Amino acid sequence: MNQALMQMTVSGALMGLVYALVAYGFQLTYATSKSINFGQGELVMVSAFFSLTLTDLGLPYYLMIPGGLLFGVVAGLFVERAGVRLALEQKSEGWILMTIILGLFGFSAAENIWGRDDRPFPTPISSDPIQLFGISITPLEISVAVGVFMIMAVIELFKRKTLLGKAFEAVSADRDAAELMGISATRTIMLSYGLSGLVAALAGILISPITTVGPTMASALVLKAFSVAVVAGLESGFGVVIVGLFLGSLESLTSYYVGSGWREAPGLVLLILALAVRPTGIFGKGVIRKV
Amino acid sequence: MLVVDNLHAGYGMSEVLMGTSLTVKKGTLVTLIGPNGAGKTTTMRTISGGLKPTKGEIILDGTPVQGLEPSKIAHLGLAHAPEGRKVFGPLSVEDNLLLGAFTRLPHFFGFRAKAAGDLEKVYELFPRLKERRKQASGTLSGGEQQMLAIGRALMAHPKLVLLDEPSMGLAPVIVDEVFAIIRRLKESGITLLLVEQSAKRALEVADYAYVMERGRIAVEGVPAELEKNEKVVAAYLGS
Amino acid sequence: MLKRFILIRGIEGLMVLLLAAIPLMINNGFMLGLLTLLAIYGILLIGLDITVGYLGLINLAQAAFLGLGAYAAGLTVTHFGFGMLSALAVSALLGLVMGGLLAFPSLRLEGPQFALATLSFSALSATILNEWESLTQGAQGLQLVRPPLFGLVLDAKGFYWLCLCMLGLVWISMKNLLFSQWGRAFEALRDSPIATDAMGIGTYRHKVTAFALGSGLGGLAGGLYAFNFEYLQPSVFVYELMVILLLGVVMGGRKSLWGAFVGAILIVLLPNLLSNRLLFQIFSAIGFLSALGAGGLALYQKRTKPFQGVAPMIAMGLLVVGSLTVQNTEDWRKAIFALMLFSVVVGLPEGLMGFAATFLSKIFKIEPLPLATPSDLEQVLVKRDVDGGPLLQLQDLKCYFGGIKAVDGVSLTISSGTIHGLIGPNGSGKSTLVNVVSGLYSPTGGSILFQGKPLVRGSLFDVARQGISRTFQNLQLFSELSALDNVMVAMKGWYRSSLPLVLMGLAKKDEKRAEADALALLEMVGLADQARIPAKDLPYGAQRFLEIARAVARRPTFLILDEPAAGLAHPDVMALLGIIRRIHGRGITIILIEHHMDVVAGLCDMVTVLDGGKVIAEGLPDVIKRNPLVIEAYLGKGSGTASPEAVSLATPSPVPA
């Protein structure tokens, strides 16, 4: 295979992992509540800015990370309380609009608090490329991959190995029956939004050193995460990784061969195609209509 | 153990329960029978909190529970094996059972060890569940799912178990098995409230029975009396 | 009648005259610009309201359709020298086609996927407008000159009047549409998509049509937009504009033409509001006080959840704080929109017009139009000839869910012209069986023959079109619609007026006939005097009867009644028996799922008993009543079990009625 092609595929795939991570955040909340945060991109961005501020205040990198993650959790909980809960109680789709609104507010606040310019995000991890099987790759990029896989592994372990994690799945399988077991659906949904916020914050921290931090840093990212989530289906964690890797490399190839302005296109086309062919996603389950 | 007094509840504009009252004494098996649409399942759902009553009282072991969230009522010692079984399909049989004991177990680690004894007891009652402990519960047959639903309810060490239509959709052979188990539960001193379509079967195991009609208790009494009651017989075959 | 005419038509007419006259009275270019924009946004928001209001879906693509329409108009004029009207036609058509293409795949699913698809569509069209530089000039922008209208060069005033005319046309045709079979179908599919399909109205097809129409209006508005500004840039038609459009629809009030208009006024005024600090301070103070007042009152009267009362107060409070402290409000524009939208969505979900409508209808009591005279039932339900031959034949039908065998090999023949009872205990598979026949579920195995031909599987809509109609055990009424409208929805297939005719208001005669027929059916079930009451406010028994009337309105060959007597009081059961007999008297074959043996015994020519997903007995009602197996299934025998072999052996061979 052509060297440049390989290079493009690999570095695109690494970006794809970040899409997968954000998409995974959608899955977490979709599982418990059939809702997702449309302002997830803004959550990624605001968390990144917050983490940058922590660094500016002199906190070392590895202490900043838990701070940034904690901020993500709190922000996620806030989204659930202010934007989602009421709509879910009313069984309406109002949460779509509400989370868009909260995202817009976050965006505007970030613009005014941290400024509209892109800023570099300092990191102790080197960005000097090393050669691996003839492909140049930076330790920074490797750290992204490691971070994505680690957090997904931890959350999947939590879901499978702890009773609370199983309760999480019980709520997504049958909310009413879970309540009868003493599992509070409201609290489970809160927890899922907290986790989703944590995942978003981590995505922000991982990607910022590569892309720089700015109010629009995540607006393209989140669109692709949406595509990944819909194409893979909103149920399978494994699916988002596969689709994320695929989309990331496809995109990087598109921008190399067609033009960098078109790099957003494959994700969007893929999404609409996936809806046409298999609306529940490649790895999604079918739905049974009930009366 | 359970006192329900003048309960009113419904869905939207239509009121289903119009002043239901009943009592379940500790250690007894009480059954609630009546025609379809009379409000039996609605009564059960209202007791366990899935439906908010518009009026009336529900007292579980001395604590008023009307209007509480179902999860809260479960923590107060109520277990409900709902109509249609409602097992957690994608989860394994064992996970379903573990979740049944959610109110008593540690939520992160060590829950398996703590639940081991109870699991053994349930498996002893339902050997078939033990064979299929690793299987996704959605793939079980209807009868096995019903047993799982009952087992899951027992895992909570409840003060009161609500069994809603345990024979629903099951072949007659399996129904016999289910009722044999209900009899064993009763003999072991568990307090039960049973809603059942098959009135005769329910009356055979019950200590006391209520017959519901259009949201109210129409007749009540010990089974021997009810079996002689023409109204009760009429409600089932219309002759 | 007169009062109604004056209040509704009069206000509309007055508004048009006023809007048309303003430029004659005040000669102010800025003002004229705002008015033109108002007319354009009015069209755009009416289009958006079709999806957001009537379909109840969050549509994030309307800004993109505005952009596509604008570029289509601009490019046809600059490249091909199109005239005004033909360019506008191209814009609207492009919106319509693209809307259809987008809706076609994405409307198959409800939930967030649809919103995501529209969002992606917006991003994709922005990318294309930006990147296809050879065509659109990209970020540099497209310059164009407003083309003449039939050779007439329009000045600003003339163009404004053109926009106003367009708004008027859109308004009238939308009104025609929304108060027709189509509009009713849109509302119905929001309340119960399942019942809409079961009434032979393709839910999916209607949604796609509605979405395409709304997008077409977006395209038309785009064309006007292009000719208004004579300069286009892709960066205008983005996320922020889309949020503002949603703000307009939600704040104005969903499901209302006036709401869209009020929303357009808000959107047009918003930028000016933000540019004047004092005005903004006054505005936010008013907002805060009304949130405080209305929320406080609602909380005091316990009409609302705490969150619903308190959250708008906090949001509006933040707005006040912002208006006092922030120097440059323009910088915080998005946050301000967000706070306003948040308060409205939480605190005033029905919007300004929704609020005003409840308020106004209390002051001016408008009498509804008098109802038509009911048709003759004999003509509505023309008596069918029945030959007594097999109408529906099931052969070894199976339907499994996971490990549950809900229907496990049922074979059954229903003869035309009979009432066939299907009884059995709860969970014996009765409902699943009819759900398979009516197309809600796909069978796991077996065959279904209807009128000797294999029946379509797994599609409520297609089965309904074959002449099979049904009611639902758990009522699936269109709860927001009146009793009359519920029945009229089901008549859509009967009086099928084409969409263009409806838009032009040329289908009113069919409307009247449908209304008369529907009233005849309501009369049949004893609900004629409750025709105007919303279905959700009818008593329970009446709701059951209404479902039957609605199912019969399809003029079916075969009617499925799924537990019609469940939960009915004795007098209602008696009335039900009468209704079923009358329907049967018109030659309609009925399958009656029932629980009460006495209902079945009084009505049915033949009874089939199910238990555990299998047929355990079949025969004449009197014979069935004495069948020991049936008695056991109902009363239970406790000990002593009927083995499966015994079951099949004991099935009596029925004598056809």
Residue-range domains of chain B with CATH: 2-86+158-237 (3.40.50.300)
Q: What percent of chain C has pLDDT over 90?
A: 42
Residues B22-52: tens digit of each pLDDT: 999 999 999 998 877 788 989 999 999 999 9
Predicted confidence at residue C655, as pLDDT, reads: 34
Contact of C215 with C99, CB cutoff 8 Å: yes
Cβ of C425 within 8 Å of Cβ of B173? The answer is no
DSSP annotation string for B204-228: HH-SEEEEEETTEEEEEE-HHHHHH
Predicted confidence at residue B13, as pLDDT, reads: 63
- C48 in contact with A, Cβ within 8 Å: no
Cβ of C341 within 8 Å of Cβ of A109? The answer is no
pLDDT, averaged across chain A: 90
- A268 in contact with B, Cβ within 8 Å: no
Predicted confidence at residue C376, as pLDDT, reads: 85
Indicate the residue of B88, B106, B111 with minimum beta-carbon distance to A170. Answer: B88
Nearest CA in chain B to A174: B88
Predicted confidence at residue C565, as pLDDT, reads: 84
- C472 in contact with A, Cβ within 8 Å: yes
Cβ of C426 within 8 Å of Cβ of B237? The answer is no
**C635 interaction partners in chain B (CB closer than 8 Å):** 198-201, 236-237
- C322 in contact with A, Cβ within 8 Å: no
Please state, in angstroms and rounded to a whole number, the distance separating the CA atoms of residues C391 and C370.
Answer: 41
**B161 interaction partners in chain A (CB closer than 8 Å):** none
Predicted confidence at residue A46, as pLDDT, reads: 97
Interface of C with A in 113-132 (CB under 8 A): 113, 115-117, 119-121, 123-124, 127-128, 130-131
**B140 interaction partners in chain C (CB closer than 8 Å):** 402-403
Q: Inform me whether the pLDDT recorded for C645 exceeds 60.
A: no
- Position of tokens 């409600």? B235
DSSP annotation string for C224-239: HHHHHHSEE-GGGSSH
Contact of A150 with B55, CB cutoff 8 Å: no
> Using a CB cutoff of 8 Å and minimum separation of 24, what contacts does C357-360 make?
C357/C253, C357/C256
Predicted confidence at residue A291, as pLDDT, reads: 56
Q: Which pLDDT band, with edges at 50, 70 and 90, does C654 fall under?
A: very low
Please state, in angstroms and rounded to a whole number, the distance separating the CA atoms of residues C271 and C274.
Answer: 5
From B10, B7, B37, B30, select the one nearest B20 (Cα to Cα). Answer: B7
Indicate the residue of A101, A272, A277 with minimum beta-carbon distance to C120. Answer: A272
Q: Which pLDDT band, with edges at 50, 70 and 90, does B236 fall under?
A: low
Answer left, alpha or beta for residue C147, where phi above 0 means left and psi between -120 and 50 means alpha. beta
Q: For testing the chain A interface, which of C131, C132, C339 should be mutated: the one with the most A CBs within 10 Å? A: C131
Please state, in angstroms and rounded to a whole number, the distance separating the CA atoms of residues C10 and C164.
Answer: 17
Indicate the residue of A35, A100, A279 with minimum beta-carbon distance to C113. Answer: A279
CB neighbour list of residue A100: distance below 8 Å, 6 or more residues apart: A38, A39, C60, C243, C246
Identify residue A163 by its one-letter amino acid code: L
Q: Looking at chain C, which subunits does it touch, using at least 3 CB pairs closer than 8 Å as the criterion?
A: A, B
Nearest CA in chain B to C626: B237
Please state, in angstroms and rounded to a whole number, the distance separating the CA atoms of residues C358 and C368.
Answer: 15
The CB density around residue C529, as the number of other CB atoms within 10 Å, is 10
Stretch A34-55: mean pLDDT, rounded? Answer: 95
Please state, in angstroms and rounded to a whole number, the distance separating the CA atoms of residues A46 and C338.
Answer: 16
C384-467+556-657 fold: Rossmann fold (3.40.50)
Predicted confidence at residue B174, as pLDDT, reads: 84
Give the domain ranges of chain A. Answer: 3-113+135-277
Predicted confidence at residue C649, as pLDDT, reads: 28
Residues B182-209: tens digit of each pLDDT: 999 999 999 999 998 778 888 889 999 9
Q: Inform me whether the pLDDT recorded for C444 exceeds 80.
A: yes
Predicted confidence at residue A126, as pLDDT, reads: 84
Predicted confidence at residue C638, as pLDDT, reads: 39
- A189 in contact with B, Cβ within 8 Å: no
Sign of CA dihedral B182, A163, B92, B127: negative
The 3 state secondary structure assigned to chain A is: CCHHHHHHHHHHHHHHHHHHHHHHHHHHHHHHHCCCCCCHHHHHHHHHHHHHHHHHCCCCHHHHHHHHHHHHHHHHHHHHHHHHHHHHHCCCCHHHHHHHHHHHHHHHHHHHHHCCCCECCCCCCCCCCEEECCEEECHHHHHHHHHHHHHHHHHHHHHHHCHHHHHHHHHHHCHHHHHHCCCCHHHHHHHHHHHHHHHHHHHHHHHHHHHCECCCCCHHHHHHHHHHHHHHCCCCHHHHHHHHHHHHHHHHHHHHHCCHHHHHHHHHHHHHHHHHHCCCCCCCCCCCCCC
Interface of C with A in 148-167 (CB under 8 A): none
Residues A172-224: tens digit of each pLDDT: 889 999 999 999 999 999 999 999 999 999 999 999 999 899 998 988 899 89
Q: Inform me whether the pLDDT recorded for C602 exceeds 70.
A: yes
Predicted confidence at residue C382, as pLDDT, reads: 84
Bridge partner list, A49: none
Please state, in angstroms and rounded to a whole number, the distance separating the CA atoms of residues C350 and A114.
Answer: 36
**C239 interaction partners in chain A (CB closer than 8 Å):** 219
- Please report, for residues A145, A234, A277, C117, the alpha-carbon distance to residue A241 in angstroms, rounded to integers and kept in the order given: 11, 12, 20, 20
Cβ of B173 within 8 Å of Cβ of C641? The answer is yes
Lowest mean pLDDT among B25-39, C227-241, C483-497, C509-523: C483-497
Answer left, alpha or beta for residue C505, where phi above 0 means left and psi between -120 and 50 means alpha. left
Indicate the residue of C194, C239, C342 with minimum beta-carbon distance to A101. Answer: C342
- C474 in contact with B, Cβ within 8 Å: no
Indicate the residue of A163, A173, A184 with minimum beta-carbon distance to B90. Answer: A173
- Please report, for residues B77, C12, C577, the alpha-carbon distance to residue B2 in angstroms, rounded to integers and kept in the order given: 11, 62, 40
Predicted confidence at residue C646, as pLDDT, reads: 29
Indicate the residue of A167, A184, A186 with minimum beta-carbon distance to B99. Answer: A167
Indicate the residue of A100, A109, A291 with minimum beta-carbon distance to C335. Answer: A109
Nearest CA in chain A to B95: A166
For residue A97, the Cα-to-chain-centroid distance in whole angstroms is: 19
Identify residue B14 by its one-letter amino acid code: S
Nearest CA in chain C to A35: C112
pLDDT, averaged across chain C: 86
Contact of C208 with C114, CB cutoff 8 Å: no
Indicate the residue of A176, A182, A185 with minimum beta-carbon distance to B103. Answer: A182
Where is pLDDT greater, at C422 or C358?
C422
CB neighbour list of residue B150: distance below 8 Å, 6 or more residues apart: B81, B126, B161, B163, B166, B178, B181, B185
Stretch C272-276: mean pLDDT, rounded? Answer: 84
From C612, C651, C644, select the one nearest C628 (Cα to Cα). Answer: C651
- C474 in contact with A, Cβ within 8 Å: yes
Residues A235-283: tens digit of each pLDDT: 888 889 999 999 999 998 888 888 887 888 888 888 888 877 777 777 7
Lowest mean pLDDT among A63-67, C34-38, C236-240: C236-240
Give the domain ranges of chain C. Answer: 2-237, 270-367, 384-467+556-657, 477-555
Contact of B23 with B4, CB cutoff 8 Å: yes
Q: Inform me whether the pLDDT recorded for C635 exceeds 60.
A: no
Contact of B49 with B218, CB cutoff 8 Å: no
- CA–CA min distance B117, chain C (Å): 28
- CA–CA min distance C327, chain A (Å): 11
DSSP annotation string for C468-523: EEE--SS----TTSBHHHHHHHHTTTTS---HHHHHTT--HHHHHHHHHHHHHHHH
Stretch A51-56: mean pLDDT, rounded? Answer: 94
Q: Looking at chain B, which subunits does it touch, using at least 3 CB pairs closer than 8 Å as the criterion?
A: A, C
Tokens for C472? 């639902």
3-state helix, strand, coil in chain C (%, to 5): 60, 10, 25
**A178 interaction partners in chain B (CB closer than 8 Å):** 88, 99
Q: Inform me whether the pLDDT recorded for C391 exceeds 90.
A: yes
Backbone angles phi, psi at C373, to 5 degrees: -75, 130
**C115 interaction partners in chain A (CB closer than 8 Å):** 38, 93, 96
Cβ of B75 within 8 Å of Cβ of A182? The answer is yes
User: Is B99 in a helix, a strand, or coil?
Assistant: helix
Cβ of A164 within 8 Å of Cβ of B79? The answer is no
- Please report, for residues A28, A111, C146, the alpha-carbon distance to residue C72 in angstroms, rounded to integers and kept in the order given: 41, 34, 13
Predicted confidence at residue A93, as pLDDT, reads: 82
Stretch C37-41: mean pLDDT, rounded? Answer: 95
Predicted confidence at residue A24, as pLDDT, reads: 95
Predicted confidence at residue B227, as pLDDT, reads: 81
Contact of A21 with A198, CB cutoff 8 Å: no
- A58 in contact with B, Cβ within 8 Å: no
Q: How many CA atoms lie within 13 A of C460 on its CB side?
A: 25
Stretch C225-250: mean pLDDT, rounded? Answer: 88
Q: For domain A3-113+135-277, which architecture applies? A: Orthogonal Bundle (1.10)
Please state, in angstroms and rounded to a whole number, the distance separating the CA atoms of residues A254 and A261.
Answer: 9
From A19, A3, A6, A7, select the one nearest A144 (Cα to Cα). Answer: A19
- Please report, for residues A17, A41, A211, C55, C77, the alpha-carbon distance to residue A149 in angstroms, rounded to integers and kept in the order given: 9, 20, 20, 40, 53
User: At CA C480, angle to CA C474 and CA C482, rounded to 5?
Assistant: 100
Cβ of B89 within 8 Å of Cβ of C402? The answer is yes
Q: Inform me whether the pLDDT recorded for C483 exceeds 70.
A: yes
Q: Inform me whether the pLDDT recorded for A290 exceeds 60.
A: no
Q: Inform me whether the pLDDT recorded for C656 exceeds 50.
A: no
Residues B105-144: tens digit of each pLDDT: 999 888 999 999 999 999 999 999 999 999 999 888 888 9
User: Is C455 in a helix, a strand, or coil?
Assistant: coil
Indicate the residue of C402, C538, C631 with minimum beta-carbon distance to B139. Answer: C402
Predicted confidence at residue C270, as pLDDT, reads: 85
Q: What percent of chain C has pLDDT over 70?
A: 94
Contact of C518 with C512, CB cutoff 8 Å: no
Chain A with chain C: Cβ pairs closer than 8 A: 136
Predicted confidence at residue C106, as pLDDT, reads: 80
Contact of C525 with C576, CB cutoff 8 Å: no
Predicted confidence at residue C657, as pLDDT, reads: 32
Backbone angles phi, psi at B198, to 5 degrees: -80, 95
Residues C108-139: tens digit of each pLDDT: 776 788 888 898 889 889 888 988 888 888 88
Contact of B2 with B59, CB cutoff 8 Å: yes
Answer left, alpha or beta for residue C559, where phi above 0 means left and psi between -120 and 50 means alpha. beta
- A275 in contact with C, Cβ within 8 Å: yes
Predicted confidence at residue C634, as pLDDT, reads: 66
pLDDT, averaged across chain B: 89
Residues A107-130: tens digit of each pLDDT: 999 999 999 999 999 888 888 888
Predicted confidence at residue C563, as pLDDT, reads: 87
Q: Inform me whether the pLDDT recorded for A166 exceeds 70.
A: yes
Indicate the residue of B99, B105, B109 with minimum beta-carbon distance to A170. Answer: B99
Stretch C74-96: mean pLDDT, rounded? Answer: 93
**C331 interaction partners in chain A (CB closer than 8 Å):** 111-112
Lowest mean pLDDT among A10-19, A99-108, C293-302: C293-302
User: Is B121 in a helix, a strand, or coil?
Assistant: helix
Cβ of C332 within 8 Å of Cβ of A112? The answer is yes
Q: Strands C390-401, C445-450: parallel, antiparallel or unpaired by DSSP?
A: antiparallel
